[in-house]
C-alpha cells in the first residue's frame, strides 16, 4: 500500500540505533545511539557533525545499505528494512569522492547507464542526461572517456548522476568533499534551484562544512556520538547562542588539559602545522571581560599572538552545543 | 549554473515515469551488457590478452599432434578446446572477479542502492562478456580453419547452436555464482581460482580426448560444465571421432541442469551477500 504523501514525512527515524562489531574482538562501536528525525517533503535538511558522529551510518541505513540494530527508519513512508525495494525507487545517493562508472565509458554513456538502472524511459533518458551535463558544465566533455577526466570533472559527473533518476528524495553525503571553492558553490546553487523548482523534492545533506549547511539547509540536525544534540533552522540555532562576543585567539604554550579560563569554556583547535600555534575559540557574554581573560591566560604561561572577534555563526552554535568545533581535537575519527 | 527544467518542474513529488519489474530488469541488464561490449571494442590490449594468448596453447597442441603424426581429429579436438578456453578465462576473470572489482572501485554500493535487480546487473555482465568473447573466440576458429586447416562437419547447425547456447548458459551461470563467492572471500577466492585454473584445464580435456583420463578421471571431469560443453560440442562437430564421454542428449540435459542450478545458486548467493553486507556493514566499502 502506498502511504498518503501528505500524512507521511519524507524521512522519519525513531530511536534509530546501529552498533558495529569492533575489529579483532575489541568490543562494540556505537555509531548511532538512538536517533529521532522527521524530515518533511520539500526540505533541504542537513546532518552536521564531526567525523565519527554517525552521519554516514545514518545515510547508509536510510539508503537500504545497512540494517539498523534497533529502532525504525522510514523513507517516503516505507520501512527501509521490510520495503527496501519501494525505498530504492524513490531515492538517489551521491557520496563525495566516489568513482561512479567505468573509465572506458564516455561521460554521456555513464549517465545513460545509470538512468537505465533506475528504469528511466528511453525517450526521457537522453534529453535529461544532456540537460544535466549542461547544468554541471560538462556538455563539452559529453563524449570524453571518464578515465580522461580530471578529479573535479569526475566529481561533477558523479554529482549529475544523482539527478538522472529525478529522485523524490536525494541523499548527498559530503557531496563537495575535495571540490574547489567555485565548483562547490555552483553545485550548491544547483541543488537549491533543483529543490525550489520541483515541489516536494527533498534533500538530506551530510556535510563537514558549516557554511555549506548554513547556506543550503532549511533545518539542521547537529549530531555527535550517535545522538541528535539539536535540530532547528540555522537561524534558530544561531539565536540559541546569540549575545556576547565570539572570540578567536591564536596562542602559544597551551597547558595540557586546558578546557576553561576563568569559568569560560574554550574550544582548542589543532596546532598550526607551520607556526605551531593553537586556536582557542570562546564566547563571552560580556565583551568587557576579554582583557581580564587575556591576562589570566598570560598568567598561565599562554602567549597570545592574535585576537579576533566576529558575529555569531553556525559554528558558534555548534561549539556551544557539542562542546568543540568540527575540526577541533577530540572530534573523534 | 542552471537547473534543467521540464522534467517535473512545479509538479507534486510523485515518482517520475519509470519502468519497473521485468522491463526494468531487461533495461538494466542491457545497459550493463552494453558497457562490456563497448569496453571490449575500446581496449585493444584485451584483444591480445584475451584472444591471441589463449590460443597459443591450442597452437602448441596442434603442432605437437602434427609432429607426432596423430590422427587429424586430434587437431580438431585441440582447436575446439582452445576456443572454449577463451570463454572459460572470461568466466573466471571477467565474471567471477567482477563484483570484487566493483567493490574495489566503489561501484558496488551504487548497484546496491539502485532499484533494479542485482541479478539483472550480473546477467548483463554475463551477456556482455559472452558477446565480447564471441568476437574474440572467432580468432581461435579462424586460426583452426585457415592456419591449421582442421576439418569439422556439424551434423546440424541447429544442434550446434543449441549445444553452444547450453554450454554458455552453464558456464556464465557458474561465473555469476563465482562472482559472489569471490566477493565473499576476497583474495582467498582469487588465489583458489588461480590454483584451480590448471587442474580445471586438465580435467576439462581441452586439448586431448577426455576418455584418455580413464574411468576415475572421467567421473571427476563429468561434473564440470566446461568438460561437458567441450565434449558435447566436439561430438556435434566431429561425430564419432570426438571419442565422446557421454551420449550427446545426456550431456545436453546435464548442461541445462547445470545452467538452472548455477543461476539459482547465483541468486541465492547474491541475496546472502547483500544481507551479510547490511548486517555487518561491509562489502560495499573498499576498506571493509
Task: State the virtual CA torsion across B214, B220, B224, B229 in degrees, nearest 10.
Answer: 20
Indicate the pLDDT class of residue A266, thresholds 50, 70 and 90.
confident
Q: What are phi and psi of A264, to 5 degrees?
A: -95, 120
Q: Taking the mean position of all CA atoms in its chain, how far away is CA A170?
A: 13
- For residue A208, give the C-alpha cell: 563537514
DSSP 3-state assignment of A248? strand
Residue A46 neighbours by CB distance under 10 Å: 29
pLDDT value of position B6? 40
How far is the C-alpha of A62 from the C-alpha of A30, rounded, in Å? 17
C-beta of residue A247 within 8 angstroms of C-beta of residue A284: yes
- 0.90 surpassed by complex ipTM: no
> Poorest-confidence range of A104-113, B138-147, B193-202?
B193-202
Domain positions in chain A are 10-100+162-236, 243-311
The pLDDT-based confidence of B155 (bands split at 50, 70, 90) is: confident
pLDDT digits (tens, 9 = 90+) for B120-131: 999 999 999 999
A10-100+162-236: CATH, from 3.40.50.720, 3.40.50.300, 3.20.20.70, 3.30.300.130:
3.40.50.300
* Residue B16, pLDDT score: 60
B27 touches A at CB < 8 Å: yes
How far apart are the two ends of chain A, measured CA to CA in Å? 41
Q: Which whole number is the average pLDDT over B60-68? A: 92
Q: Which residue has the cell 541442469?
A: B257
User: pLDDT at residue A175 above 80?
Assistant: yes
Q: Which three cell numbers stand for residue B228?
A: 561437458
Residue B142, domain member (yes or no): yes
Q: Is B14 within the bounds of a domain?
A: no
Q: Residue B72 class from Cβ within 10 Å (0-12 exposed, 13-18 middle, 19+ buried)?
A: middle
Asked if the structure places residue B288 within a domain, the reply is no
Mean pLDDT of all residues in chain A?
A: 86
Mean pLDDT in residue range A316-332:
66
Enclosing domain of residue B102: 21-279
Instruction: Please tell me the pTM assigned to this model.
Output: 0.80
Q: How many CA atoms lie within 13 A of B135 on its CB side?
A: 15
Sheet holding A227-232, edge to edge: A91-95, A169-173, A202-207, A44-48, A219-224, A227-232
Label residue B94 by pLDDT band (50, 70, 90): confident
Alpha carbon B44 to chain centroid, angstroms: 20
pLDDT at B4: 41
What is the pLDDT at residue B284?
A: 60
Domain count, chain B: 1
The confidence score (pLDDT) of residue A43 equals 92
Q: What is the CA radius of gyration of chain A?
A: 22
pLDDT in tens, B22-49: 899 999 999 999 988 888 788 777 777 7
Matching residue, cell 559527473: A157
Contact criterion met (CB < 8 Å) for A190 and B35: no
How buried is residue A252: exposed, middle or buried, by Cβ count under 10 Å (0-12/13-18/19+)? middle
In a domain, B79, yes or no: yes
B286 belongs to a structural domain:
no
CA dihedral B62, B67, B71, B73 (to 10 degrees): 10
The 10 Å Cβ neighbour count of residue A199 is: 14
Confidence at residue B5, expressed as pLDDT on a 0 to 100 scale: 38
The answer to whether residue B12 scores a pLDDT higher than 60 is no
Q: Which of residues 67-86 of B touch A (CB under 8 A)?
A: none
Question: Within an 8 Å CB–CB cutoff, is residue B45 touching chain A?
Answer: no
- Give the minimum alpha-carbon distance from B133 to chain A in angstroms, rounded to a whole number: 17
- B8 pLDDT tier (thresholds 50, 70, 90): very low
**Band of the pLDDT at A179, cuts 50, 70, 90?**
confident
Tell me which CATH code domain A243-311 carries.
3.30.70
pLDDT band at B187 (very low <50, low <70, confident <90, very high): low
More reliable by pLDDT, A188 or B51:
A188
Which of B16, B38, B115 faces A85 most closely, judged by CB atoms?
B115
Amino acid at each position: 500500500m502506498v502511504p498518503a504523501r501528505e500524512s507521511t514525512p519524507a524521512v522519519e527515524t525513531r530511536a534509530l540505533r546501529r552498533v558495529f562489531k569492533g575489529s579483532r574482538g575489541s568490543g562494540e562501536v556505537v555509531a548511532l545511539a538512538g536517533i529521532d528525525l522527521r524530515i518533511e517533503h520539500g526540505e533541504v535538511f542537513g546532518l552536521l557533525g564531526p567525523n565519527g558522529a554517525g552521519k554516514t551510518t545514518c545515510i547508509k541505513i536510510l539508503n537500504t545499505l545497512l540494517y539498523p540494530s534497533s529502532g525504525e527508519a522510514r523513507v517516503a513512508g516505507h520501512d527501509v528494512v521490510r520495503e527496501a525495494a519501494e525505498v530504492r525507487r524513490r531515492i538517489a545517493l551521491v557520496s563525495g569522492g566516489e568513482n561512479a562508472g567505468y573509465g572506458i565509458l564516455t561521460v554521456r554513456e555513464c549517465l545513460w547507464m545509470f538512468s537505465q538502472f533506475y528504469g528511466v524511459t528511453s525517450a526521457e533518458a537522453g534529453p535529461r542526461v544532456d540537460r544535466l551535463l549542461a547544468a554541471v558544465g560538462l556538455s563539452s566533455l559529453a563524449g570524453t572517456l571518464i578515465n580522461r577526466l580530471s578529479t573535479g570533472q569526475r566529481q561533477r559527473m558523479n554529482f549529475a548522476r544523482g539527478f538522472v533518476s529525478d529522485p523524490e528524495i536525494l541523499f548527498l553525503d559530503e557531496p563537495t568533499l575535495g571540490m574547489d571553492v567555485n565548483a562547490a558553490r555552483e553545485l550548491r546553487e544547483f541543488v537549491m534551484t533543483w529543490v525550489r523548482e520541483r515541489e516536494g523534492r527533498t534533500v538530506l545533506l551530510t556535510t563537514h562544512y558549516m557554511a555549506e549547511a548554513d547556506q543550503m539547509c532549511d533545518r539542521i540536525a547537529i549530531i555527535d556520538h550517535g545522538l541528535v544534540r539539536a535540530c532547528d533552522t540555522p537561524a534558530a540555532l544561531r539565536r540559541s547562542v546569540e549575545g556576547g562576543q565570539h572570540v578567536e585567539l591564536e596562542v602559544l604554550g597551551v597547558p595540557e588539559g586546558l578546557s576553561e579560563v576563568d569559568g569560560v569554556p574554550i574550544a582548542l583547535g589543532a596546532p598550526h602545522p607551520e607556526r605551531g600555534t593553537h586556536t582557542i575559540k570562546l564566547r563571552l557574554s560580556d565583551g568587557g571581560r576579554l582583557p581580564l581573560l587575556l591576562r589570566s591566560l598570560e598568567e598561565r604561561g599562554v602567549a597570545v599572538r592574535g585576537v579576533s572577534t566576529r558575529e555569531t555563526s553556525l559554528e558558534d552554535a555548534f561549539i556551544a552545543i557539542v562542546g568543540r568545533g568540527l575540526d577541533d581535537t577530540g572530534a573523534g575519527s | 549554473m542552471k537547473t534543467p527544467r521540464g522534467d517535473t518542474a512545479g509538479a507534486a513529488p510523485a515518482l517520475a515515469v519509470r519502468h519497473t519489474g521485468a522491463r526494468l530488469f531487461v533495461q538494466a541488464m542491457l545497459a550493463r551488457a552494453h558497457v562490456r561490449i563497448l569496453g571490449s571494442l575500446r581496449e585493444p590490449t584485451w584483444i591480445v590478452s584475451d584472444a591471441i594468448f589463449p590460443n597459443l596453447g591450442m597452437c602448441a597442441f596442434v603442432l605437437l599432434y602434427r609432429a607426432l603424426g596423430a590422427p587429424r581429429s586430434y587437431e580438431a579436438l585441440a582447436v575446439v578446446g582452445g576456443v572454449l578456453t577463451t570463454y572459460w578465462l572470461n568466466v573466471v576473470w571477467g565474471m567471477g572477479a567482477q563484483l570484487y572489482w566493483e567493490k574495489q572501485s566503489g561501484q558496488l554500493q551504487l548497484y546496491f542502492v539502485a532499484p533494479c535487480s542485482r541479478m539483472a546487473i550480473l546477467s548483463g555482465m554475463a551477456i556482455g562478456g559472452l558477446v565480447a568473447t564471441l568476437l574474440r573466440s572467432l580468432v581461435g576458429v579462424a586460426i583452426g580453419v585457415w592456419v591449421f586447416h582442421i576439418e569439422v562437419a556439424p551434423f546440424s547447425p541447429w544442434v550446434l547452436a543449441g549445444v553452444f547456447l547450453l554450454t554458455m548458459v552453464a558456464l556464465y551461470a557458474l561465473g555469476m555464482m563465482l562472482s559472489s563467492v569471490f566477493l565473499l572471500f576476497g583474495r582467498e577466492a582469487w588465489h583458489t581460482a588461480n590454483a584451480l585454473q590448471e587442474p580445471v584445464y586438465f580435467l576439462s580435456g581441452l586439448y586431448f580426448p577426455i576418455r584418455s583420463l580413464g574411468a576415475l578421471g572421467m567421473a571427476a571431469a563429468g561434473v564440470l560444465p566446461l568438460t561437458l560443453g567441450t565434449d558435447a560440442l566436439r561430438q556435434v562437430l566431429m561425430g564419432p571421432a570426438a571419442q565422446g564421454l557421454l551420449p550427446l542428449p545426456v550431456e545436453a540435459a546435464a548442461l541445462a541442469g547445470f545452467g538452472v542450478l548455477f543461476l539459482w545458486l547465483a541468486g541465492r548467493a547474491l541475496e546472502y551477500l547483500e544481507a551479510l553486507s547490511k548486517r555487518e556493514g561491509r562489502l560495499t566499502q573498499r576498506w571493509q
